[in-house]
Structures are given as C-alpha cells and as structure tokens.
C-alpha cells in the first residue's frame, strides 16, 4: 500500500485510516509511512521496529519533536471510512479518524512538504500506544535512542479539536481492602461482613468533591473514583474480604508521593495498597517557544486531563503539548469521526508556525 503525501490532508487521512493498524498489527502502515517519508530528500529516516523517525538536520537554533501514534483500538465495522455530513458539516467517519490518524496525516504531509522549516524537526510516528505501556513505541525508542528526544519543545498530535492542550494530569491507582470474618449466612452474627465494612469507603468517595488546581495558568480538574469493586465467597457465606480499586487523577503540580498521601488521607483508617502511578506533565506553556507556537496556530491553551505520552517528554525535561484534529470524547467510539475543517485548520496552524521566518 502506497501513501501519497502530496494529497490533501483529508484525502491522506482517508488513505491512512483505510490501512487498518490495530495495536500489534501496524507493520503495513509503518511500511507505507516510511516509504512516504523516504520520498523527501531533506529527511533523515530511521526505523525502530514499527516506529518511524524522520528528521531535518539544518543546524537550526531550536528543535521540536512532532509525534503521533499510528495504532488504533480494534475496528468495529467502521472501516473503510465514510464521508458523512453532520449538521451540514463534512466529516470523515471511521476507526482512527479521531485517535489519531487525521493528526498523523497532517504531520506526514508537512514532514514531506516543508523542506526548509524555521526550526529543526524530529517527526515520530510510533506503534502500540493503545495497549500496555511496556509495548509503547515511543517509550521503547526513548530507551534505545534517548538522543532522538533532545528538543526544545514537543507536540503530540492527540485529538484536541484543534485546540492546544497542555500537560496532563497524573494518575494513581490503589486497592482499598476491608477484612471480616467468614461465616454461614444463616448465622451471620457469628461473622463480620467485609462488604458492609466497605460502606464508609463508598460514602467518602461519593461525597468527595474534586478540586481544580491552577498550574501555569491552566486549571486542572482532578477526580477520585472507584473503578472496580469486588467481594463475596458464595451465596450463603458472609464475605471476609472486599476490595475497592480507586483511581485518583491529580494535577501535574503534584508528585506521586503527594497523590498517595492525599488518597491515604481521604481513605484514612483503611488498608490501602498503591498498585500503579504515573506522574502528570506540567503544561510547559511558559517557555517562549511554546508562547510562539500558541500565537502562530492561533489557538487557546487548555488543560489536558487524560494521561498522554506528553508526560514522557515532560519527564525528559521537554515541554510538550497536544494539538490535533478531532473531538477527544469520540476517541475509541464506534461513531468516531473528524470534521474535515479541523484537519485543514490544524494543517494550516502547524504549517504557519513551522514556516514562520
């Protein structure tokens, strides 16, 4: 399969979406992206598994990384893409249109077309973003080739409906346990019901009011939620164990230790095991290059709530934002669809910034 990077960005979006690339099955699309990148003489192309890196080496004063993942969640009868009108506005509908092949299409087109950018650019198109972190192509590349991540700024093409979303909240998961004493439910007073013992956990979570934390001018809304509950031995047994898994999404001004302390304070008195935690990413929008980017694309900065790979750049000391076409609420949705106008707008915004003198 061949991609034509000189096609319009909506047409390139259609073509990229119609090469299915569910996580773990990205080879065909990676091949096509690599081949398209290699048509541009100004790009050094590096392949790392199914991750393609293409970069300029023009000796510019600054370098930016612009990245996007090429995998999608599973197809569900929503390929090939279809053109649909919604309230009179043309959309492209199908798996990957939002998350995030329209963004990849814009990036690939600009990579090939902009031979003389104002900053050096390292383009990265990577695999396995939608699955466990250990398989993430960007993470594997960073482990093998940290030199490729040296940059002044990074842009991830995750869907933001054409706005700029800075940083991301951190996330922490914990399992909260109550213990009891098993007994036959016909003589329940002999036992102690661990599920009943979990009542205060759910009450505190239900009454919890999440805060909005200001970080570098953006308001990060937090959340503390039960995402799973389980308990019970049999229909005639008083249960001796109940587990509530909670997920705390915390502002990027907090460390994982801060987040853990907060969860332990809200659920004080219960056994708590921290099972998983990832730092957030500060928006980094106070950097001059970030301010120039915002002015050039003409977009307003907003906070990003979900954890994204911008945190990988943040951890490396590179300010990073999300900027791409598509409504993030439609990501993974079977009715996933992107307005054609947003694809064109993001192309125009990125092009304006990258070619500014």
Our CB check for its own copies shows the closer of 275 and 291 to be: 275
Residues 104, 36: Cα–Cα separation, whole Å: 12
Q: Does 210 engage in binding with its own copies (CB under 8 A)?
A: yes
Q: Is 292 designated active site?
A: no
Return the range that interacts with its own copies (CB under 8 A); candidates 19-27, 46-54, 186-194, 348-356.
186-194
Long-range contacts of range 139-144, CB-CB < 8 Å, 24 or more positions apart? 139/312, 140/48, 140/49, 140/51, 141/48, 141/51, 141/53, 142/312, 142/316, 144/48
User: Contact, 268 vs 184, CB < 8 A?
Assistant: no
Which residue among the candidates 129, 165, 260, 336 is catalytic per the annotation? Answer: 129
Q: At what angle do helices 340-355 and 9-17 cross, to 10 degrees?
A: 120
Please state, in angstroms and as integers, the Cα–Cα distance from residue 308 to each residue in 71, 237, 274, following that order: 14, 43, 21
Q: Does 245 engage in binding with its own copies (CB under 8 A)?
A: yes
Neighbour-count burial of 114, counting CB atoms closer than 10 A to its CB (0-12 exposed, 13-18 middle, 19+ buried): middle
User: 154 pairs with which residues across the strands?
Assistant: 65, 320
Q: Does 190 engage in binding with its own copies (CB under 8 A)?
A: yes
Residues 259, 265: Cα–Cα separation, whole Å: 10
Q: Does 303 engage in binding with its own copies (CB under 8 A)?
A: no
Q: Does 186 engage in binding with its own copies (CB under 8 A)?
A: yes
Q: Does 18 engage in binding with its own copies (CB under 8 A)?
A: no
Q: Does 251 engage in binding with its own copies (CB under 8 A)?
A: no
**170-179 and 241-250 beta bridge pairing:** antiparallel
User: 63 pairs with which residues across the strands?
Assistant: 120
Return the range that interacts with its own copies (CB under 8 A); candidates 1-9, 156-164, 188-196, 262-270.
188-196
User: Both tokens of residue 47?
Assistant: 């392949």
Q: Does 219 engage in binding with its own copies (CB under 8 A)?
A: no
Cα angle value 139/228/73 (rounded, 5°): 40
Our CB check for its own copies shows the closer of 27 and 184 to be: 184
Q: Does 355 engage in binding with its own copies (CB under 8 A)?
A: no
Report the length, in residues, of the chain: 357
Q: What is the DSSP letter of 13?
A: H
Return the range that interacts with its own copies (CB under 8 A); candidates 34-42, 61-69, 138-146, 218-226.
218-226
Which residue among the candidates 71, 127, 222, 240 is catalytic per the annotation? Answer: 71
Q: Is 129 designated active site?
A: yes
Q: Does 317 engage in binding with its own copies (CB under 8 A)?
A: no
Q: Does 179 engage in binding with its own copies (CB under 8 A)?
A: no
Q: Does 307 engage in binding with its own copies (CB under 8 A)?
A: yes
Q: Does 118 engage in binding with its own copies (CB under 8 A)?
A: no
Please state, in angstroms and as integers, the Cα–Cα distance from residue 185 to each residue in 229, 230, 235, following that order: 21, 18, 8
Please pick, from the candidates 223, 253, 258, 315, the single residue that binds its own copies as defined by CB under 8 A: 223
Structural element, H or E, at residue 207: helix 199-207
Residues 279, 285: Cα–Cα separation, whole Å: 18
Our CB check for its own copies shows the closer of 306 and 317 to be: 306
Q: Does 306 engage in binding with its own copies (CB under 8 A)?
A: yes
Return the range that interacts with its own copies (CB under 8 A); candidates 37-45, 166-174, 262-270, 285-293.
166-174
Q: What is the DSSP letter of 270?
A: S
Shortest Cβ 223–its own copies spacing (Å): 4
- Token pair 């909240």 is found at 169
Closest alpha carbon to 210 in 248, 261, 254, 171: 248
Please pick, from the candidates 181, 199, 352, 356, the single residue that binds its own copies as defined by CB under 8 A: 199
DSSP assignment of 46-61 equals EEETTEEEEE-----S
Q: Does 61 engage in binding with its own copies (CB under 8 A)?
A: no
Q: Within 224-243, which residues bind its own copies (CB under 8 A)? A: 225-239, 242
Please pick, from the candidates 41, 77, 132, 187, the single residue that binds its own copies as defined by CB under 8 A: 187
Q: Does 181 engage in binding with its own copies (CB under 8 A)?
A: no
Catalytic machinery residues: 71, 129
Give the residues lining the site for its own copies (CB under 8 A).
169, 171, 173, 184-190, 193, 195-199, 202-203, 205-206, 210, 221, 223, 225-239, 242, 244-245, 247, 249, 276, 305-307, 329
């Amino acid at each position: 399969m061949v991609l034509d990077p000189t096609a319009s960005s909506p047409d390139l979006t259609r073509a990229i979406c119609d090469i299915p690339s569910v996580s773990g099955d990205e080879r065909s699309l990676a091949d096509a992206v690599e081949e398209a990148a290699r048509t541009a003489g100004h790009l050094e192309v590096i392949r790392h598994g199914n991750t393609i890196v293409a970069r300029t080496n023009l000796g510019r004063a600054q370098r930016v990384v612009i990245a996007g993942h090429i995998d999608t969640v599973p197809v569900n009868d929503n390929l090939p893409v279809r053109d649909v009108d919604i309230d009179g506005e043309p959309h492209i509908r199908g798996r990957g249109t939002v998350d995030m092949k329209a963004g990849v299409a814009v990036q690939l087109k600009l990579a090939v077309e902009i031979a003389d950018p104002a900053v050096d650019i390292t383009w990265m198109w990577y695999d396995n973003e939608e699955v466990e972190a250990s398989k993430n192509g960007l993470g594997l590349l960073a482990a093998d080739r940290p030199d490729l991540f040296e940059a002044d700024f990074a842009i991830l093409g995750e869907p933001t409906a054409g706005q700029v979303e800075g940083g991301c909240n951190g996330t922490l998961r914990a399992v909260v346990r109550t213990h009891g004493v098993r007994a036959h439910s016909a003589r329940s007073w002999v036992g102690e019901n661990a599920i009943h013992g979990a009542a205060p956990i759910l009450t505190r979570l239900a009454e919890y009011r999440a805060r909005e934390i200001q970080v570098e001018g953006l308001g990060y809304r937090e959340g503390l939620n039960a995402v799973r509950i389980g308990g019970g031995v049999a229909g005639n047994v008083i249960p001796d164990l109940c587990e509530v898994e909670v997920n705390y999404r915390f502002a990027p001004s907090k460390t994982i230790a801060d987040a853990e302390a907060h969860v332990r304070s809200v659920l004080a008195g219960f056994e708590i095991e921290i099972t998983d935690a990832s730092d957030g990413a500060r928006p980094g929008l106070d950097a001059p290059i970030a301010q120039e980017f915002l002015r050039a694309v003409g977009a307003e900065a907003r906070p990003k709530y979900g954890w994204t790979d911008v945190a990988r750049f943040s951890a490396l000391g590179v300010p990073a934002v999300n900027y791409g076409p598509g409504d993030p609420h439609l990501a993974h949705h079977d009715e996933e669809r992107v307005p054609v106008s947003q694809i064109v707008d993001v192309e125009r915004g990125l092009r304006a910034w990258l070619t500014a003198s």
